[in-house]
C-alpha cells in the first residue's frame, strides 16, 4: 500500500454547525497518528452507538472530522509493536475508536497494539464483526452474572431489547450456558428467530414499562441482561428474585433511572454496570475466547441482519435508532 493510494472511508464532518457523513477517498497521510499498528480493515459493524454518532445524536463524538465506527476487524499491514506482525488478524472493539479516535469505517486505520485482540482461530473476520461490540458486551454481561453466582437451573433469566444486537447475542449465550431465557421484545413477530437462538419464552416489552414502577413487585427473575434502561430497568429491579443480579449495559429506552433502595436492602438485588469500551485486557481476551467457543457458525449467521457497504451506513443508522435492526449489521469495507 503506497502512501499516495486512495482508499474509501466514511468521514463525519461539521462544515457549518451540522454534522454530515461523507464518503471520502483518503490517503494514509490523512489518517491521524493515533497508533503504531496499521490495519487493512475488512469489516466493521453498526452498533446503536454508531447510529447515534452518524446521526449526531447522543454526543458520542468528541471532535470533527472523524471516521466513526466503534468496531473493526482486519489484517495488520505494519506494526511498530513486536506483539503484532504483518498479516496478523486483529479486531478492535471500543477503546475510544469512533468516539475519541478515528474508527472502523475506513479501509485502512491506525490503532494501538494495546487496543487490538488477535481474532480467535475459530472465527473469520466477518464473523468477528457479527459479534463486534454487541456480542462482546453480551459476553461480558453473562460473565458478570456468573461471577455474581448465577447458575443454570436457578430460575428464569430475562433479556431486554432481545431482538437487538446485544440482546440477541445475550439470548444465544445464556441459552448456550444452560439458562432458561425469557426474551423481552417489542417485536413478538420475531418469535421463531428468538426461539431459534434459545429463548424459552417471550414477553412483550410493554409488561416491563410501568410509567411509575412500584418499589417492589412479585419476584420473578434470577438474573437479567438489560439493554433498555429507563422505566424498563426500574421495573426489572423491582421484579428481581432475592439476591438476583442485573447486568445493566444499555439505554435504548432512555438513560434515566428512577428507583428506590428497597430491592437492594430487602432482597439483596445486585445492579452491575457493564463497560465494554475500557474493559481490562485479561477480561477482554477471556470474553473473546469464550465467544469463539460458545457461538457456533450456524448461530452466528442467523444473527447477521445485513452486510452493507459504507455508503449504506447513514440510512442504516436511522434504522437501528428506530429499533428496526434484528441482530447485527456488518459493514463490508471492500464492497
Ligand atoms: N455498556 C456497554 O459497553 C455497551 C456496549 C454495547 C451497547 N450498549 C448499549 O446497549 C444498547 C443496545 O445496543 P445495540 O447495539 O444492541 O442496539 P440495537 O441493536 O438497536 O438493540 C436495541 C434494542 O432495544 C429495543 N428498543 C429499542 N428502542 C426501545 C425503546 N424505546 N424502548 C424499549 N426497547 C427499545 C429493541 O429491541 P426489541 O425490538 O426486541 O424490543 C432494539 O432492537 C444501546 O443503548 C447501546 O448504547 C452498551
> Pick from 189, 194, 68, 76: which is nearest to 125 by CA?
76
User: Could you read off the pLDDT of 123-170 as tens digits, one per residue?
Assistant: 999 999 999 999 999 999 999 999 999 999 999 999 999 999 999 999
| Correct CATH for 134-273 of 1.10.3720.10, 3.40.50.720, 3.40.190.10, 3.40.50.2300 | 3.40.50.720
Q: Is the CB of 48 under 6 A from ligand 1?
A: yes
Is residue 89 very low, low, confident or very high in pLDDT (cuts 50, 70, 90)? very high
Q: Is the CB of 276 under 6 A from ligand 1?
A: yes
Q: How far is the CA of 18 from the centre of ligand 1 (A)?
A: 25
Q: Is 219 helix (H, G, I), strand (E, B) or coil?
A: coil
> Pick from 15, 325, 331: which is nearest to 185 by CA?
325
Is residue 69 very low, low, confident or very high in pLDDT (cuts 50, 70, 90)? very high
pTM of structure = 0.97
Q: Is the CB of 39 under 6 A from ligand 1?
A: no
pLDDT for the residue 212: 79
Q: How far is the CA of 162 from the centre of ligand 1 (A)?
A: 8
User: Could you read off the pLDDT of 241-290 as tens digits, one per residue?
Assistant: 999 999 999 999 999 999 999 999 999 999 999 999 999 999 999 999 99
Q: What is the CATH number of domain 7-119+298-332?
A: 3.90.180.10
Q: Is the CB of 164 under 6 A from ligand 1?
A: yes
Name the phi and psi angles at 239, rounded to 5.
-105, 5
What is the β-pairing status of strands 156-159 and 199-204?
unpaired
User: Could you read off the pLDDT of 43-53 as tens digits, one per residue?
Assistant: 999 999 999 99
What is the β-pairing status of strands 108-111 and 37-46?
antiparallel
Specify the residue with its C-alpha closest to ligand 1, atom 36.
161
Q: Is the CB of 228 under 6 A from ligand 1?
A: yes
Ligand 1 pocket test, pick from 44, 45, 46, 48 with the greatest ligand atom count within 8 Å of Cβ, gives: 48
Residues of the chain with CATH 3.40.50.720: 134-273
Q: How far is the CA of 15 from the centre of ligand 1 (A)?
A: 30
Concatenating the DSSP letter of every residue in 146-205 gives HHTT--TTSSEEEESSTTSHHHHHHHHHHHHTT-EEEEEES-GGGHHHHHHHTEEEEEEG
Specify the residue with its C-alpha closest to ligand 1, atom 31.
253
Ligand 1 pocket test, pick from 236, 323, 328 with the greatest ligand atom count within 8 Å of Cβ, gives: 323
Q: Is the CB of 93 under 6 A from ligand 1?
A: no
Residues of the chain with CATH 3.90.180.10: 7-119+298-332
Percent of the chain predicted with pLDDT > 90:
95
pLDDT over threshold 90, residue 209: no
Is residue 15 very low, low, confident or very high in pLDDT (cuts 50, 70, 90)? confident
Ligand 1 pocket test, pick from 161, 169, 253, 330 with the greatest ligand atom count within 8 Å of Cβ, gives: 161
pLDDT over threshold 90, residue 232: yes
Instruction: Write down the number of H helices and E strands in the chain.
Output: 9, 15
Specify the residue with its C-alpha closest to ligand 1, atom 32.
253
Q: Is the CB of 239 under 6 A from ligand 1?
A: no
Q: Is the CB of 279 under 6 A from ligand 1?
A: no
Amino acid at each position: 500500500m503506497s502512501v499516495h493510494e486512495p482508499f474509501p472511508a466514511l468521514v463525519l464532518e461539521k462544515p457549518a454547525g451540522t454534522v454530515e457523513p461523507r464518503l471520502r477517498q483518503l490517503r494514509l497521510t490523512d489518517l491521524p497518528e493515533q497508533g503504531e499498528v496499521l490495519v487493512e480493515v475488512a469489516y466493521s459493524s453498526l452498533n446503536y452507538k454508531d447510529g447515534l454518532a452518524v446521526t449526531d445524536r447522543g454526543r458520542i463524538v468528541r471532535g470533527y472530522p472523524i471516521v466513526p465506527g466503534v468496531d473493526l476487524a482486519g489484517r495488520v499491514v505494519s506494526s511498530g509493536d513486536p506483539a503484532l506482525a504483518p498479516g496478523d488478524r486483529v479486531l478492535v472493539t471500543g477503546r475510544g475508536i469512533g468516539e475519541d479516535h478515528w474508527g472502523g469505517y475506513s479501509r485502512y486505520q491506525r490503532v494501538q497494539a494495546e487496543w487490538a485482540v488477535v481474532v480467535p482461530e475459530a472465527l473469520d473476520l466477518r464473523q468477528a464483526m457479527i459479534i463486534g461490540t454487541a456480542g462482546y458486551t453480551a459476553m461480558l454481561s453473562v460473565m458478570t452474572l456468573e461471577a455474581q453466582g448465577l447458575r443454570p437451573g436457578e430460575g428464569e433469566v430475562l433479556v431486554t431489547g432481545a431482538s437487538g444486537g446485544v440482546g440477541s447475542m445475550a439470548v444465544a449465550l445464556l441459552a448456550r450456558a444452560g439458562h432458561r431465557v425469557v426474551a423481552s421484545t417489542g417485536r413478538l413477530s420475531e418469535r421463531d428467530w428468538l426461539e431459534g437462538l434459545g429463548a424459552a419464552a417471550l414477553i412483550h416489552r410493554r409488561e416491563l414499562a410501568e410509567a411509575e414502577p412500584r418499589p417492589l413487585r412479585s419476584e420473578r427473575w434470577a438474573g437479567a441482561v438489560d439493554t433498555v434502561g429507563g422505566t424498563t430497568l426500574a421495573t426489572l429491579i423491582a421484579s428481581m428474585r432475592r439476591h438476583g443480579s442485573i447486568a445493566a449495559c444499555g439505554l435504548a429506552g432512555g438513560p434515566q433511572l428512577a428507583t428506590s433502595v428497597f430491592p437492594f436492602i430487602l432482597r439483596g438485588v445486585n445492579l452491575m454496570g457493564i463497560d465494554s469500551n475500557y474493559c481490562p485486557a485479561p477480561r477482554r481476551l477471556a470474553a473473546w475466547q469464550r465467544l469463539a467457543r460458545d457461538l457456533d457458525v450456524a448461530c452466528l449467521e442467523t444473527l447477521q441482519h445485513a452486510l452493507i457497504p459504507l455508503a449504506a451506513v447513514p440510512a442504516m443508522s436511522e434504522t437501528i435508532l428506530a429499533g428496526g435492526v434484528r441482530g447485527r449489521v456488518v459493514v463490508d469495507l471492500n464492497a
